[in-house]
Amino acid sequence: MDIATIIGLVMGTGLLLWAIMGKADLSAFADGGSVAIVLGGAASAVLVAFPLKNVLGMMKVLKKTLLTKSQDPNALIADMVKYAEVARRDGILALENVTGDITDPFLVSGIQMAVDGTDPDLIENIMMSDLDAVEARHADGKSIMESIGRYAPAFGMIGTLVGLVIMLGNMEDPSSIGPAMAVALLTTMYGAVVANLVALPLADKLAIRSREEVFIKMIIIKAVMAIQSGDNPRIVEQKLKTFLPVGMRGSDDESARAA
């Protein structure tokens, strides 16, 4: 789970509750109809804008991206070097015994193709095309989040306009004007909170998580290609480590450089 996301959401919500409850009753800010217009309106616009499949896929992307811990590239490279050693020592078919321990299906499918003796170009093509599909799914998730961030405030404004038009048509009782306008403004406020505390920041986080995952998958592709071609484990390590900036390289680094 991404800890910063939870801290941010809890802290932002807490702040707003604290700001409201210090000066007024929370019930003045709770209005089911206003919530329905903002969330329902944004959901309607998103359904018009995206295929059902993508909207449902977004939930999965969101869940997976936020609940999964990001992988450590150094540990991954260490594993890859281990597989390269197995392949070198016992032949590439020996890797089949290893794949049972791996949980990442992307890596399993890559090693399986190498074990099956699939043509290297075809392996790379297939893995790159899978990677492209992952990126496209993430980009769709980001687009949908950004759309919520755009449509929630828009329907907030529409809700406020509806409230104002109703209020302006019923001004016989002056004492009702204030509260009516207060309710009208609630949708604008809900729209702003949904967009700025939830949807837009989550869109950014999805993008960053996607970048990390693509980075990891690029290392896996390079590793599978190197293992398949029977590279010396040291060379495999060296090749993969050039992906990492100095600060992220492990302790074997100096020797790798001098190799």
- Which of positions 137-196 make contact with a second copy (CB under 8 A)? 143, 147, 150-151, 154-155, 157-159, 161-162, 164-166, 168-171, 175, 178-179, 181-182, 185-186, 188-189, 192-193, 195-196
8 A C-beta contact, residue 243 and residue 221: no
Could you tell me the smallest distance in angstroms from the CB atom of residue 158 to a second copy?
Answer: 5
Give the residue, chosen from 60, 93, 122, 229, that forms a contact with a second copy under the rule CB under 8 A.
122
x/- site string to a second copy, residues 198 to 227, per CB under 8 A? x-xxx-xx--x-------------------
117 phi-psi bin (left φ>0, alpha ψ -120 to 50, beta other): left
| Nearest residue (CB) to a second copy, 71 versus 196 | 196
Nearest to 139 by CA among 218, 71, 203, 194: 203
Q: x/- site string to a second copy, residues 72 to 111, per CB under 8 A?
A: -------------------------------------x--
- Give dist(CA 5, CA 130) in Å, integer: 28
Nearest by Cα to 75 from 240, 239, 197, 257 = 240
Which residue's CB is nearer to a second copy, number 89 or number 251?
251
Comparing CB distances to a second copy, the nearer of 3 and 89 is 3
Of the candidates 164, 137, 136, the one whose C-alpha atom is nearest the C-alpha of residue 56 is 137
Task: Supply 84's token pair.
Answer: 């390269």
Return the number of the residue (89 or 217) whose C-beta is nearest a second copy. 217
Residue whose C-alpha is closest to residue 118's, from 206, 203, 227, 2: 227
- Give least dist CB 224 to a second copy, A: 13
CA distance 15 to 34: 21
Which of 60, 63, 133, 232 binds a second copy (CB under 8 A)? It is 133
